[in-house]
Amino acid sequence: MAFPSKVAIIGSGNIGTDLMIKVIRTSRTLEMAAMVGIDPRSDGLARARRLGVATTHEGVEGLLDMDGFQDIAVVLDATSAGAHRHNAEVLAPYRKKIIDLTPAALGPYVVPAVNLGEHLDSPGVNMVTCGGQATVPIVAAVSGVTPVHYAEIVASIASRSAGPGTRANIDEFTETTARALERVGGAARGKAIIILNPADPPLIMRDTVYCVVGEGDDDMLVASVRRMVAEVAAYVPGYRLKQDVQIRRIGPGDPLAGFAGLRGPGRLVSVFLEVEGAAHYLPAYAGNLDIMTSAALRVAERLAA
């Protein structure tokens, strides 16, 4: 019987705490070795101590001094883009597998349902953004059937689920997500928009994906999208189509076709998604955070294996 691989989480906020609880409750191959923060009064560190997890409030430097640091195989960073750059530099000499849940964009972009197998040997991987985890698989599903000339996504999340880290990294969110639509999703051009929805009661995460493509078989395209939704839902149970995939014909004179650089007739593919959280630590409406922690858990299990 194989022993679980030990992991540490840096960042004792909402994402880090939810990830810790997922590791403890749902993973058969990972074991929590340390929870790292910078605020000794944070709820995440308090919960970790109650659950018997070793903690430090001295950041990544405190992690280096903890007993058993040498046995940790994977470090998951749930801090901020700026903090991750520092953490990655400090950890570099110790050859740990690092999973970045911030928009720092260090290391290759990884979306489990699309390209995890390509990066199992990488020392560090980047989980893109919540919007990227939700929408890149759809763009990849479309581009697997026909070239995507242009992809645009709109991620709408509950304002209450957007903490200080998310709000401080809005620019990084849009830039990183757009690049991932191209590099991982396969779009020739990508654009990302995020909306912080102030509705009360809060609404769950909603994502809209638009792809401009050429002519082709509609049934193949729809089937590819549905298969991808099922693959993502295997590790993010609250991930689902909100309604049927919509396909509209666009002619050469359509402004959208010209903007996308489409020569000749084509199609506008619209996919509407919603992501409901598992409510392990966060409310169910915080699907934007749940998809990040669920995807990171899947990556950690594969890297550790």
Q: Which two tokens stand for residue 106?
A: 């260090």
Domains of the chain and CATH, by start: 5-128+290-304 (3.40.50.720), 130-284 (3.30.360.10)
DSSP-assigned beta bridge partners for residue 30:
5
Residue 163 assigned ligand-binding role = yes
Q: Is 115 annotated as a binding residue?
A: no
Residue 44, marked binder: no
Instruction: Mention every residue, 6+ apart, whose C-beta is less than 8 A from residue 34.
Output: 8, 9, 53, 54, 55, 56, 63, 66, 68, 69, 72
pLDDT digits (tens, 9 = 90+) for 15-35: 999 999 999 999 999 999 999
Residue carrying the six token digits 């590819």? 224
Select which of 20, 21, 111, 130 is catalytic: 130
Q: How far is CA 252 from the centre of its chain?
A: 35
**pLDDT class of 305 with cuts at 50, 70, 90:** confident
Distance CA 296, CA 10 (A): 13
Paired tokens of 224:
């590819």
pTM over 0.85: yes
Q: Which helix (H) or strand (E) holds 190?
A: strand 190-197
Rounded to an integer, what distance in angstroms lies between the CA atom of residue 257 and that of residue 264? 8
Query: What are 32-62's pLDDT values in tens digits?
Result: 999 999 999 999 999 999 999 999 999 999 9
| pLDDT over 80 at 156, yes or no | yes
Task: Please tell me whether 168 is known to bind a ligand.
Answer: yes
15 is in an annotated binding site: yes
Whether 1 shows a pLDDT value over 80: the answer reads no
Whether 167 has a binding-site annotation, put simply, is: yes
211 is catalytic: no
Average pLDDT score over residue span 275-284: 96
| pLDDT the model gives residue 2 | 65
- The whole-chain average pLDDT of the chain stands at 95
Closest by CA to 26, choosing from 298, 289, 304, is 298
Distance CA 221, CA 226 (A): 9
